[in-house]
Structure 1
Amino acid sequence: MLTKYQEARHEVRSTVLAVVKRLAKANEEALKALEGSDENQLEEVRKTIKNITKETEKIDNDIVLIFARYTPEAKDLREMVSYLKITSEFNRIRSNINNYLKNMQSMLSEEDVNIIQFIKESLSINRCTINAFDKTIEMFETFDDNDKIKQLAIEIDVEYAKTDDIYALLEKGVVQKMGEAGGQAEEYFNLLKYIRKNLKIIDRLDSIAQRTIFARIGGKL
């Protein structure tokens, strides 16, 4: 039978996993909406992550209560401290997703066929991010397997590296179009800016992977 302390620890980890899954689902639904150029659906996706901050605040408060009520062992203390860092990353991811989708709504409303085509081409980044989310979820689900979580962290880093290559190719095409766009050059510049914001999501996931390894194995936070 689990002690109250163990139950509290497990509850925190379960809540962390639930938040990751919500963010991952939002990212998947956003991809579908962007594939269909559906502005209204993008708005619906934004609504699904509106209360993420309340959930991360609960996680932080629960961890503080664990510190106050119990005396965590060193490895458990390391895990709880890591989650305090991870909840900050969750809040940033929520903000990144929300801002990216809001900006994509404005881009789609332009009804510029070239911009829409560039958005479609950029979705390879979103697919890499979805893969990284899946691997992040698996890290928490296989938390007790040191070798597994280290391998998953490597795979997340590979997905992250792919997005740099995708963006470099996309940027080349957009910059070329900017030179031909005349008065519309600003719209293309903004599109690149918004896509760079999208890249921050997988950057945060890469950071979460490293913090999860610290939670389990130790090292540098």
Structure 2
Amino acid sequence: MGSKYHEKIGVIKDKLSLLLKEIITADELSLEAFKLYDAKRFKEVENILSKISFSGDEIDNEIIKTFALFGPEAKELRFLIAFLKMTNELVSIGAGVKKYARRMSEHAKSGCDLEPFKPSIMLLHKSSINALKYILECFTNIQECNYEDNYRKVLVEESMNDDLFSVLEKEILNKIIDEKELSIEYVKVLGSLRKLERSCDRSVNIANLMMYAKLGGEIKLFNQIIKI
């Protein structure tokens, strides 16, 4: 492959890294907003992620142009396919963070008492951010990254995230029984928290795609053969 091709790959990687950094920044700001019940910061999260679909389309177009112009070989083709699928996962994560910020701002103004759940919600949120940070750490040092180790780290966060969500789900369902008049609001809170759970799931998918890009094989096999 010529230098022009590698230059294009570098551009795509940089754009993906920038998108991921914006999502992490917005996600951390959203966590801070929840901690303080700060409507202004929740709104800032939405502003940061307002053009996330446009950014995803821009990256996909760059990948498609690289396909068309350079006809990459097998290894390079794996990376481009992985990048294309990663973009979709990142845009979905960003869209989820934006919805979470908007909804949590609304929940904070409702009659729901979120204080009893606050420690667990913050841990849930931190685990989803940690998973994204592991992805970024590996992605920005793509040549030296230990892909299997990175995948395991993301899986640990995802497993913790699942456990935390299960606990929160039970606690909030009990709250619904005690406060029937707010049952619909608490169900909405659960829906909002699921955005954090799905973020971790999608981070696992991205780590999985990175494994595929580097090692080849079947995309869906890694989550079956890599053990924590």
Class of the TM-score when normalised by the shorter of the 2 chains = over 0.9
Cα contact 1:75–1:215 (8 A) shared by 2 = yes
8 Å contact kept, 1:143–1:216: no
The more displaced of 190-199 and 156-165 is 190-199
Q: Which residue of 2 aligns with 1:43?
A: 43
- Residues of 2 paired with 1:156 and 1:59: CA distance? 24
* Aligned twin of 2:136: 137
**Partner Cα separation in structure 1 for residue 196 and residue 21 of structure 2:** 18
- Give the Å deviation of 1:166: 0.8
Q: Which ranges in structure 2 are unaligned for 5 or more consecutive residues? A: 220-228
Report the residue type matching 1:102 in the other structure: R
Name the SS for the 1:219 alignment partner: coil
Inter-partner Cα distance in structure 2 for 1:30 and 1:68: 39
Is 1:207 aligned to 2:210, yes or no? no
TM-score with structure 1 setting the length = 0.93
Q: Distance in 1 between matches of 2:25 and 2:100?
A: 15
Kept in 1: contact 2:49–2:95 (CA 8 A): no
- What are structure 1's unaligned runs of at least 5 residues? none
Tell whether the 8 Å contact from 1:144 to 1:216 is kept in structure 2 after alignment: no
CA distance in 1, matches of 2:169, 2:40: 27
2:9 is the alignment partner of 1:9: yes
Distance 2:200 2:185 in 1: 24
Q: Which amino acid aligns with 2:137?
A: E
Match status 1:67 vs 2:53: no
Does the residue aligned with 1:143 lie in a helix, a strand or coil? coil
User: How far is 1:53 from its partner?
Assistant: 1.6
- Runs of 4+ in structure 1 off by over 6 angstroms are none
Alignment root-mean-square deviation, CA? 1.5
C-alpha separation between the residues in 1 aligned to 2:184 and 2:71? 56
Q: Quick one: distance in 2 between partners of 1:139 and 1:207?
A: 14
Give how far 1:142 is off: 2.6
- CA distance in 1: counterparts of 2:170 and 2:83, whole angstroms: 39
Instruction: Call closer, same or farther: CA 1:119–1:102 in 2, change over 3 Å.
Output: farther
Question: What is the CA-CA distance between 1:119 and the residue it aligns to?
Answer: 4.2
Instruction: Describe the SS at the equivalent of 2:217.
Output: coil
> Is contact 2:111–2:182 with CA below 8 Å preserved after alignment?
no
Separation (CA, whole Å) in 2 of partners of 1:213 and 1:12: 18
Residue 68 (structure 1) shift: 1.6
| Partner Cα distance (2:39, 2:115) in 1 | 12
What's 1:161 paired with?
159
Q: Is the 8 A contact 2:128 2:196 kept in 1?
A: no
2:123 maps to which residue?
124
* TM-score, with structure 2 as normaliser: 0.90
The aligned residue for residue 195 of structure 2 is 197
Distance between the aligned counterparts of 1:90 and 1:198, measured in 2?
A: 13
- The residue type paired with residue 157 of structure 1 is L
Q: Are the equivalent residues in 2 in contact too, given 1:129–1:201 (CA < 8 A)?
A: yes
Q: Offset at 1:111?
A: 4.9
Deviations 1:114-163 (A, max 9, x none): 224424531111100111111000121232236x1210111001000001
Aligned-residue sequence identity (percent) comes to 26
Structure 1 residue 43, shift from structure 2 partner: 0.7
Cα 1:6–1:110 shift into 2, 3 Å: same
Any conservation in 1 of the 2:151–2:208 contact (CA below 8 Å)? yes
The one-letter code sitting in structure 1 at the alignment partner of 2:167 is: L
In structure 1, give the amino acid aligned to 2:191: K
Q: After alignment, is 84-93 or 175-184 more displaced? A: 175-184
1:151 corresponds in structure 2 to 149
Separation in structure 2 between the aligned mates of residue 210 and residue 125 of structure 1, nearest angstrom: 21
